[in-house]
Amino acid sequence: MASNRDHQADKHQTGVVPKMLLRTDALYQYILETSVYPREPEPMKELREITEKYPLGMMATTADEVQFLNFLLKLMNVKNAMEIGVLTGYSLLATALALPHDGKILAMDIDRESYEVGRPIIEKAGVAHKIDFREGPALPLLDQLLKHEKNHGSFDFIFVDADKNNYLNYHKRLIELVKVGGLIGYDNTLWNGSVVESPDLPMDDYVMSYRGFVLELNKALAVDPRIEICMIPVGDGITLCRRIK
């Protein structure tokens, strides 16, 4: 987290005052404790706590980000959604809770075992009937969907939170599946902060091995004329892409 002194230095270098609000970790905790946890639906809390203890749980989306997504989906009146990368179903539950009773979400993951960890809570929350979980790599599943004309332009919202090396391959397909006016959200587009070089913030090999793919995706989305984009610094960064043609 940058200090006030860093911000002053930035100002001198660029002449621009950075509009970075989260200057301390305590400020982030303040957001969680003031506006996220007190409003968190009971099943979301339960699944968050189970996921935090799960060995792969650090991959899950943050509580403030799923609150944001749930809010956004309700604003958009999303009825037909898709998620690529489910893990225990934490972001999936946030989406399912935002959909109307007859809403649907197609969820894909190569790992059914992790999904089974969260499934009892999803069932208890009364939203399991909205979820169509498909086990397997997402690319061939998307190609199957594309074979049927009725699926083209049929999704209101698509959340992508899986293998970063395939995001551009997903984008090629998802742009056909999302409706004009609908939204694709690509998660982790700030990729642990590694998208900018920072000698003070050493990155592990795992992060560095995917960094190039995230940079390539960010560049491609920025110039894609079929979408409008907005990169939101929540969680690990999410780029929202609204299909315009």
Ligand X SMILES: C[S@@+](CC[C@H](N)C(=O)[O-])C[C@H]1O[C@@H](n2cnc3c(N)ncnc32)[C@H](O)[C@@H]1O
Bridge pairing between strands 155-160 and 131-135: unpaired
Residue in 81, 84, 190, 241 binding ligand X, rule: CB under 6 A = 84
Distance in angstroms (rounded) separating the CA atoms of residues 62 and 86: 14
Distance in angstroms (rounded) separating the CA atoms of residues 10 and 244: 35
Q: Which two tokens stand for residue 53?
A: 């203890």
CB of 111 to ligand X, least distance (A): 4
| Candidate segments 14-22, 83-91, 211-219, 224-232, binder of ligand X by CB under 6 A | 83-91
Whether residue 105 contacts residue 77, with contact meaning beta carbons closer than 8 Å, is answered with no
In the DSSP assignment, the letter for residue 231 is: E
Residues 165-184 that bind ligand X (CB under 6 A): 166
Residues 125-164 that bind ligand X (CB under 6 A): 137-138, 161-163
Distance in angstroms (rounded) separating the CA atoms of residues 192 and 83: 21
Residue in 111, 113, 143, 228 binding ligand X, rule: CB under 6 A = 111
Output 154 or 166, the one with its CB closest to ligand X.
166
Residues 213-232 that bind ligand X (CB under 6 A): none
CB of 142 to ligand X, least distance (A): 9
